[in-house]
Structure 1
Amino acid sequence: MSTTTTEAPRVQHSLKPSADAQQYDYSNLTPYQHPPETKESLPWSELVTLDLEDFDRPGGKERLAKQLEHAVHHVGFFYVKNYGLTEKQVQQQFTLAKAFFELPIEEKEKHEVDYANADYNGWRRPGRRPTGNAFDNIEIFNIPKFTPDFEGRYTYPELLQAHLPEIKTFQRALHNNVVLPLLRLFAIVLQLPDEKYLVNQHTFEKKSEDHFRYMIYHPRTEDEWRAADYGKKGGHTDLGTVTLLFRQPVAGLQILGEDGNWTWVSAQPGTITVNLADTISHLTGGWLKSSVHRVVAPPADQREYNRTGLLYFARPHNDTVLLPITDSPVLQKAGVKPRFEGNVTMEQWVKAKQTLQLNPKIADERYAKNGDGTVEVLAGFKDQKYKE
């Protein structure tokens, strides 16, 4: 049984470290170390890498947009490098993630998400969602934006409370240095007259459901992986605009290509992996590709390791109506159509999809009701089960 956030001691979403923060100084935390990369030969995805240092150079945006055209329409995945955060800053966030997941369950469950109300901020315990004949091995802690809309609504263990200023800096840098430039590049690809059209729907200050995430996939035995069908049933799309995933050497992430085959995403040094998600696809009538992906069993030489992730999920303002953009020559030529029956806001979309994601029984009942491998999320738009 989950513990709601209202039952935990209130810790204001402030940036003032606690009085005994010294005990949580990095000098007193065990540094995170990446596991070794696999030696197995795997069918790796061929993904473009954008150098964001080129963005502000003369003609840089146009060059980067040209690089992106195929990826955003046909693949939905790519890498970025030179994103304005130091290796030390990244390493510190991995260390915090490691330390958080090593906290006692009794401490973590004080900050558990409110599953029934589809509120995903806070700690999500592993083992809640069936995968094959087993339960998931995924543990998560989501941190909302540091804005007045979320101040005081959520609680944090002392470990993270001591480091909220750095987490805020890290989160804001991802939004400003990666998300906003990418949105301008998407606008150039779409030939929008206003290069900031999408940026204006994703300002940090206005209420939206962006969040930063610590995530861990715990190791499984061979019997447990077999019972879980090795993760092959886990194909899905993300629900927001873009997802940013920091380099993680434990292989497992796969993309479903237009040819119907799954390929592996490699861990490229110094990069963030970016995937497009449902919302940007809704805003373009499906022209920008919401990529289907999954995380499967790692290669045999990596199955003993935890697979730790740092992620940032970007989403437009809650009041954004998810209709196709009308003044894009690219979308006009493609003849795109709305994906919903009627006007749907981002807030409504998040609530509907998170209800399914956080409540497996509801999802299973609705899939069973349709009986064709699909489930209606909202206003006629359906999710589906993907190729194994």
Structure 2
Amino acid sequence: MPVPAPELGSFNFVPVTKENLEWADLITIDLSLYNTPEGRKELAQTLIKAVREDGFFYVKNFDIPQEKVNRQFSLGKRFYETPLEEKLKYVPEGLDNGAFNGYVPSGRRILDPASGLRDRTEVYNIPKFNGDFKHDHPQIIQDFLPEIEEFARSLHSEVLDPLHVLLAIALELPEDYFTNIHKYEVKSEDHLRYMKYTKFTPEENLKLGRLWGRGHTDLGSWTLLFRQPVAALQIQNHKTGEWKWVKPQDATLTVNACDALTLLTGGYVKSTIHRVAAPPKDQEHVDRLGLLYFSRPHNDVPLATIKESPVLQREGYTQNNFEKTGNPCPDYGTMDLREAKVAAHQERRAR
């Protein structure tokens, strides 16, 4: 049943950049083709090409109205207008030891030792609504929690489940293989995120080399990034090491494959190194608001190479780095995240 939509206010997207940036040429997955066996087969091959070559791709024609996406941006904007002293009440215990649900304040990383400039990135993470996680939120979030839950669940049914089915088809696995280890009702570290990058001055951006963060990959299975037109995301080509910008496309999601899929496929699916740069000069006067969703396997899923895939067997992707070194593959919920990062990095570079 649809959740009633209380008044929230509008979110105004800034104009797209007019600068001639070097954009990455990414594949688009058109989910309007998903509803027939022939369409799914075609999309499966398109998807595997995308996650083998770029790791990033676009998804369009997912069944979530743009109005609902806009309301989530408006909600994120309203949250970040909350006074800092109120937001700080929701910093998770154990933040320095890996806890992440709740509010993560800016200024925790030094970006430029010479000037002492620190990051200006704020994060608010909301975990699953399946009973496994305590939900304690500021009033602005609490007031809209039913709508947030409906939105988060729709990302599973309308985007993630189709991607999991397509990946299973591409690997010649049963269609429910990946959906069975990514069920919403089972405990996992999925989370919805409102993310704010507060602007730097042009002079500060020069001191930072116009980079707001180091290159990294994402943990988990998929990251969903909703379109917003402040250009800042850059990805690194697997073969050449060249950095290119990811262009915000109308009515799309930008999606990237993540480290858990790299480990589950022995490096066949490639998570891509990416970073956030200072926006082009005609956009660097505005703050950048992000709306993201991070998908994770169930916490009890071992990150071992999938042995049942004929494709992985034929192509020789039969062991990930944990298995090659004789170490046990950890469950997602108990693994050392830094160790998994190293293992996934080695998988990306192995072939």
TM (norm. structure 1) is 0.82
Amino acid at match of 2:51: V
Provide the residue aligned with 2:151 in structure 1. Answer: 170
1:202 to 178, 182, 186: 182
- List gaps (5 residues or longer) in structure 2: 347-351
Q: Does 1:344 align with 2:344?
A: no
Displacement after TM superposition at 1:87 (Å) = 1.3
Provide the residue aligned with 1:182 in structure 2. Answer: 163
Provide the residue aligned with 1:290 in structure 2. Answer: 271
- C-alpha offsets along residues 161-199 of structure 1, whole Å, 9 cap, x if unaligned? 11001100100000111011101111111112x111111
* Counterpart-to-counterpart distance in 2, 1:270 and 1:378: 33
Aligned residues: 335
Moved more, 127-136 or 264-273: 127-136
Residue identity over aligned pairs, in percent, reads 45
Change (3 A) 1:284 1:225: same
- C-alpha offsets along residues 91-142 of structure 1, whole Å, 9 cap, x if unaligned? 1100000000010001101111231331100011011012233311211100
Provide the residue aligned with 2:104 in structure 1. Answer: 124
- Given that residues 113 and 121 in structure 1 are in contact (C-alpha distance below 8 angstroms), is that contact kept between their aligned partners in structure 2? yes
- Given that residues 49 and 78 in structure 1 are in contact (C-alpha distance below 8 angstroms), is that contact kept between their aligned partners in structure 2? yes
Provide the residue aligned with 1:331 in structure 2. Answer: 312
- Given that residues 90 and 102 in structure 2 are in contact (C-alpha distance below 8 angstroms), is that contact kept between their aligned partners in structure 1? yes
- Given that residues 205 and 278 in structure 2 are in contact (C-alpha distance below 8 angstroms), is that contact kept between their aligned partners in structure 1? yes
2:200 to 220, 225, 232: 220
Displacement after TM superposition at 1:321 (Å) = 0.2
* Counterpart-to-counterpart distance in 2, 1:290 and 1:275: 7
* Counterpart-to-counterpart distance in 1, 2:164 and 2:155: 13
* Counterpart-to-counterpart distance in 2, 1:309 and 1:107: 21
Amino acid at match of 1:108: K
Displacement after TM superposition at 1:291 (Å) = 1.1
* Counterpart-to-counterpart distance in 2, 1:32 and 1:232: 24
- C-alpha offsets along residues 22-46 of structure 1, whole Å, 9 cap, x if unaligned? xx942xx442111111000011111
- Given that residues 131 and 234 in structure 1 are in contact (C-alpha distance below 8 angstroms), is that contact kept between their aligned partners in structure 2? no
- C-alpha offsets along residues 270-289 of structure 1, whole Å, 9 cap, x if unaligned? 00000000001110011101
Provide the residue aligned with 1:140 in structure 2. Answer: 123
* Counterpart-to-counterpart distance in 1, 2:310 and 2:64: 35
- Given that residues 132 and 229 in structure 1 are in contact (C-alpha distance below 8 angstroms), is that contact kept between their aligned partners in structure 2? no
Change (3 A) 1:331 1:307: same
TM (norm. structure 2) is 0.91
Amino acid at match of 2:293: Y
Provide the residue aligned with 2:228 in structure 1. Answer: 248
Provide the residue aligned with 1:304 in structure 2. Answer: 285
* Counterpart-to-counterpart distance in 2, 1:338 and 1:38: 41
- Given that residues 41 and 169 in structure 2 are in contact (C-alpha distance below 8 angstroms), is that contact kept between their aligned partners in structure 1? yes
- Given that residues 259 and 344 in structure 2 are in contact (C-alpha distance below 8 angstroms), is that contact kept between their aligned partners in structure 1? no
- C-alpha offsets along residues 316-351 of structure 1, whole Å, 9 cap, x if unaligned? 0000000000011221123222222212110123xx
1:316 to 297, 310, 313: 297
1:377 to 331, 339, 346: 339
* Counterpart-to-counterpart distance in 1, 2:45 and 2:135: 41
